[in-house]
A and B are shown apart, each in its own frame.
Chain A
Amino acid sequence: MTEDWLEDLLDRHPGEPVPEGFSRRLRARIEADQHPAPILRPSFGAWLGRGVAAALLLAVGFWLGRDQPELTLDPVDPNLEALTVGGSPVDADLLAELYQEQELLKAWDLVVGQDLELGLRDATTGTWELTEESDG
């Protein structure tokens, strides 16, 4: 060991061997960097071609279906007979009113049932007690 032993110790580091094939791999990377794969961008011509093809397809479809019956139906059948009761036609507003009242009656039944159930409970436990009102 010399006087400056640190330099001698540092000299013991052998360095780093260059891996085999490094130059080849580097060259491949440089090639890839310099000539990157082309990015595919659809050109105007390609889009125009697709548009023409779609239009042709649509035209052929119309031509093939030109003598076929209509697939749609009229929203209201003109031959449908009006609803009658006893020979006279029933007003639509009257029918709607009847249905509305029927719904109201059903709701009333439900409320009455709940009230009766509450009335059967014990007053001391904090529930309602059924009371009877007399007319005098």
Chain B
Amino acid sequence: MELMLAFQAGEEAAFDEIVELHSGQVFGLLRRLLGPHAAVEDLAQESFLRLYRARERYQPRGKLSTFLYRIVYNLALNRLRDGKRRREVGMPSTADGERIDLEDAGGEAPWEEPDRRTWARRIEEALECLPENQRAALVLQHYDGLDLEQIGEVLGISAKATKSLLHRARTKLREILTPYREAEHD
């Protein structure tokens, strides 16, 4: 928050520091929200650009990261909806909003020992199977450590609704990833 205040006061270097500090989180969030096929740099740039433009409007009430995540989430949501519209009119798109058959998508059987990259891909594809708000809630909690209130702030819902979203997200994710877990234990 101090960095943003410094940036508001006219310190350009403070913005560079914000980018340095948060770009990893922004890229991670975008990748997990948009899936393994999406190009994320453009949206990451757009997110920081909007933060830059919001310099005057920024109110130091909450965490800067929550403010930034809200920007990222809204951009990602627009991208996902745009992708859905493209698919509806038959335009080619690599992202798939429908449930993915993980065995087909990965091109490998669940009993094969996956390396780190394969696991990353499986998780991204499993996350893609979740509705957008469930996916975002889970990612923000698990990877970014946001609490229910903060997640609710990013998604524009109450903490109670966030808790419910998280419960449904985990139930569905367990269902999708169970075959891989069992295969690993066999």
For residue B58, CB closer than 8 A to chain A, the reply is no
A9-B123 in contact (CB<8A): yes
Closest to B44 in A: A22
What's the dominant secondary structure at chain A's contact region? helix
Q: How far is the CA of A12 from the CA of B184 in the complex (A)?
A: 14
User: Which residues of B have CB within 8 Å of A18?
Assistant: 23-24, 27
User: Which residues of B have CB within 8 Å of A13?
Assistant: 32, 119-120, 123-124, 143
Mark each residue of chain A from 9 to 29: 1 if its CB lies under 8 Å from any CB of chain B, else 0.
110111111110011011101
| Residues in A9-66 with C-beta less than 8 Å from chain B | 9-10, 12-19, 22-23, 25-27, 29-30, 33
Q: Which 7 A-B pairs have the closest CB atoms?
A: A16-B31, A16-B27, A15-B28, A12-B119, A13-B123, A18-B23, A16-B28
Q: How far is the CA of A18 from the CA of B124 in the complex (A)?
A: 17
For residue B170, CB closer than 8 A to chain A, the reply is yes
For residue B108, CB closer than 8 A to chain A, the reply is no
For residue B19, CB closer than 8 A to chain A, the reply is yes
Q: How far is the CA of A30 from the CA of B143 in the complex (A)?
A: 28
For residue A92, CB closer than 8 A to chain B, the reply is no
Closest to B48 in A: A26
User: Which residues of A have CB within 8 Å of B72?
Assistant: none
Q: How far is the CA of A26 from the CA of B51 in the complex (A)?
A: 12
B128 → chain A closest CB, angstroms? 13
Closest to B171 in A: A6
Take A10-B123, A18-B23 as given contacts and tell me if A5 and B181 are in contact as well, using a CB distance cutoff of 8 Å: yes
Q: How far is the CA of A9 from the CA of B180 in the complex (A)?
A: 10
B174-A15 in contact (CB<8A): no
Closest to B25 in A: A15
For residue A109, CB closer than 8 A to chain B, the reply is no
User: Which residues of A have CB within 8 Å of B174?
Assistant: 6
B116 → chain A closest CB, angstroms? 6
Candidates A5, A7, A23, A26; contact of B49 at CB < 8 Å? A26
Closest to A33 in B: B49
Q: How far is the CA of A14 from the CA of B116 in the complex (A)?
A: 8
Closest to B114 in A: A12
B28-A23 in contact (CB<8A): no
| Residues in A74-89 with C-beta less than 8 Å from chain B | none
